[in-house]
A and B are shown apart, each in its own frame.
Chain A
C-alpha cells in the first residue's frame, strides 16, 4: 500500500517540492557571435525594448515586454522572414515569484534559424493573442488557457480545448495534483448519475496493486470464481473454465485438437 499523505490543502500548496527543481543551465553565448542573430536583434531592438538576449544551444532567446508581443511577432514575420510559429505555451513560476513565463518558438526556413521570444506576466494577467498573425496560435492559446488559466485578449474563441467545457481547475499548474482534485475524481459520477450516486459507486481505487481475494464484488480468483457478492471462505470448489460446453451446442461443434491440422506453411 502507498503511504498516506494528507491531501486536504492540496490546491493551496505544492506538495511535490522536487517538481520545482531547476536543472543547471547549458552555457550561454553573446548574440554578437552570430551575424544573422545580431542583425535580427538589431532590427527588433530598434523598435521595441529588449530586456535580455543571448544564444543558447544555437538558438537566440529574446526577452521583451508583454505589451510588445504582437508588434515583435509581426515584425519578425513580415521583415525578418521568421514565417513559422512552431510552438507557444507558458511555464509556471507561481511558486517562485507568482509569474508565468510565456514563450513563442519562431522558425525561419530561409535563414535556417530559430528564435525564442519570451516574456513574463503576473498571475491573473492576460496576454495579447497572436492568432491574427499565425493561425496555429488559435489552438495553442486555447490550450494555454485550458492548462494554465491564462486568457488571451482578442482571441476569437477563448474556450477550453482538451478538458471538457465544464471542467474546473487547470491541470498543468504545478500545484494541480497528478491524480486530480476532488472535482476531477468525481467528475464522471457527478455528471452522469448526480452527486447522490457517490455513495453507491464509491471513490476511485488508485492503488493499482490492490488485490483482495476475499472481496467478491471487485475481484475473482481464477479457477475459483463465485457469484458476485458471495462471502468467500477459502474452501471454494475448483471451477474448470472451458470456452465451450463439452460436445458443442446446436449446429456448432466443439473444436477437436486430434482431428485438426496445424498449418506450418508461412506462405499459405
Chain B
C-alpha cells in the first residue's frame, strides 16, 4: 500500500490550502455574474445594448436571467417609482446570497431629473447598493467597466468567510 503524504490532522484534512479554494470560488463567482433583467426606463435600453452582440456581455459570463432566483447581480437600470418600490424589495429578497446590486444611471442613484412626488430618490432608500454608475444614461462601456469593478470587488473579498447578508436596516 502506497504511503501518501497527506496529513489529515492539518488543513482540515484537505491536500489543498484554503486560500486556493477561496480564489477558485471567487474566480467562479466573479466570472459568472448572472444579471437580473431590471430595465425600468431609458437606461434599460443601454443595459440591453450592453447585453447584445456589439458589446456582448456573455463574454464576461454575465447572462441576463428572467428570474431573481437564478441571478447574482441586480442591475437597476432606470427610474424607480414609488409604486414599484415594494416589488424591487421583494425581488431583491428573492435573490439568493451572495448578491450584489448595481445602480445604473442618475435616476437609480438619486432620482435624477425626476424631482417629483412619484419617484424614489435613489434606490438605496429601498435596497443596499454596491456600485453606482453615473450618467444619463451611462454608455454600455460604463456598465461593462462597472461589472469589471464589481468582479474585482468580489475577488478582493474572502469567499469562505460566512457572508453577512447586506441589509439597509
| CB interface residues, A 224-244, toward B, < 8 Å | 241-244
| CB interface residues, A 150-187, toward B, < 8 Å | 162-164, 171, 176-181, 184-185, 187
Report whether A192 and B126 are in contact in the complex, using a CB–CB cutoff of 8 Å.
Answer: yes
Q: Mark B120-139, 1 if CB is under 8 A from A, else 0.
A: 11100110000000000000
Chain A residues within 8 Å of B111, by CB: 204, 208
| CB interface residues, B 99-124, toward A, < 8 Å | 110-113, 115-118, 120-122
Number of chain A residues close to chain B: CB under 8 A? 34
A200 at the interface (CB under 8 A from B): yes
Task: Please tell me the size bucket of the interface on B.
Answer: 20 to 34
B69 at the interface (CB under 8 A from A): no
Instruction: Provide the bound-state CA to CA distance between A6 and B23, in Å.
Output: 56
Output the nearest chain A residue to B127 by Cβ-Cβ distance.
A192
Report whether B168 and A178 are in contact in the complex, using a CB–CB cutoff of 8 Å.
Answer: no
Chain A residues within 8 Å of B151, by CB: 244
Report whether B155 and A245 are in contact in the complex, using a CB–CB cutoff of 8 Å.
Answer: yes
Chain B residues within 8 Å of A206, by CB: 115, 121
| CB interface residues, B 133-156, toward A, < 8 Å | 145, 148-149, 151-152, 155
Report whether B83 and A164 are in contact in the complex, using a CB–CB cutoff of 8 Å.
Answer: yes
Report whether A164 and B82 are in contact in the complex, using a CB–CB cutoff of 8 Å.
Answer: yes
Rounded to whole Å, the gap between the CB of B78 and the closest CB of chain A is 16
Rounded to whole Å, the gap between the CB of B53 and the closest CB of chain A is 12
Rounded to whole Å, the gap between the CB of B28 and the closest CB of chain A is 10
B169 at the interface (CB under 8 A from A): yes
Task: Knowing A178-B116, A178-B117 are in contact, say whether A245-B152 is a contact too (CB < 8 A).
Answer: yes
- The interface of chain A, by Cβ under 8 A from chain B, is 162-164, 171, 176-181, 184-185, 187-189, 191-193, 197, 200-201, 204-206, 208, 241-245, 249-252
